[in-house]
Amino acid sequence: MKKTFAILGCGFLGGIVAEAYKKGLLEGYELIGVMSRSKEKAEKIAGDSIRICNSDEELLSLHPDYIVETASVKALKDIAVNALRQGISIVPLSIGAFADKTFYKDAQAAAIEGGAKIHIPSGAVGGFDVMQTVALMAEAHGGALTAEISTHKGPKSLMNTPLFSEELMTDTHERKVFDGKAAEAIQLLPTKVNVAVASALASAGPDETGTKITSVPEFVGDDHCITITTEGIKAVVDIYSATSAIAGWSVVALMRNLVSPVVFY
């Protein structure tokens, strides 16, 4: 029997998940509902056979096995706890929401209550398996654990954020524009550093994971380099992506893993 899912957020990333479904790459699933702030985008994904929902309540009433969230931190916070409590698992891309300790705790409690899961995709990074492994080794041996994510971006990608200044557009050299913790970064850049929070949750936590952002003249895309260390172990994951498409496809890969007889962790 196929698993059912709904998509919350029908923009670029939600469109990738829908595209994969239409191409038969999610053959273990049935898409039963979509919801978006844009009626036009929702209609494009839904076609004639998939229900377009106009509220969280309507989406939840479909009771899909999974809700794929590609909308926003607010959208995730608005629906996650109720969905999880009702036994609906969540596949979120706005992972920065979980930097809010209260929300993260409430979501976990709701998942336990409803028998659901929060499946965190790798997004534009990866290596969560080795991050968790190194963190576990540090915990088991009482050793120190350090984790850091260093991101390089083009100055244009920082426009309309507190980190942007006109000087960045005329710089001829790299300039570090943020150096702090993941929890601090997500407050400044609620849509730009979800990967930092995701990496932090898999390792040292948002309050302890160092986060650096560097503006690079004429740079296109994002380069994320994650380093996690404990005694005798050092793991480095470095991923460059020209666009955010990899985040959408990471959701598809995760969903395929969930229904596969062979699971890659």
Domain count for the chain: 2
**Residue-wise DSSP of 36-58:** -S-HHHHHHHHTTTSEEPSSHHH
Q: What pLDDT does residue 238 have?
A: 98
Same domain, 116 and 220: no
pTM: 0.95
* Residue (of 129, 124, 146) closest to 196 by Cα position: 124
pLDDT tens track for 21-41: 999 999 999 999 999 999 999
Q: What pLDDT does residue 191 have?
A: 86
Q: Which residues contact 160 (CB under 8 A, 6 or more apart)?
A: none
Q: What pLDDT does residue 104 have?
A: 97
Q: What pLDDT does residue 265 have?
A: 85
Give the mean model confidence (pLDDT) for residues 75-84. Answer: 98
Write down the H helix ranges in the chain: 12-22, 39-46, 56-61, 73-85, 101-114, 128-141, 167-170, 182-188, 194-201, 245-258
Q: What pLDDT does residue 11 have?
A: 97
pLDDT tens track for 89-112: 999 999 999 999 999 999 999 999
Same domain, 46 and 73: yes
Domain enclosing residue 163, as ranges: 128-243
Query: For position 161, which CATH number holds?
Result: 3.30.360.10
Give the amino acid at 181: K
Domain assignment present for 264: no
pLDDT tens track for 148-197: 999 999 999 999 999 999 999 999 999 999 999 999 999 999 888 999 99
Domain assignment present for 186: yes
d(CA 78, CA 75): 5
Query: For position 26, which CATH number holds?
Result: 3.40.50.720
Domain assignment present for 94: yes
Same domain, 148 and 70: no
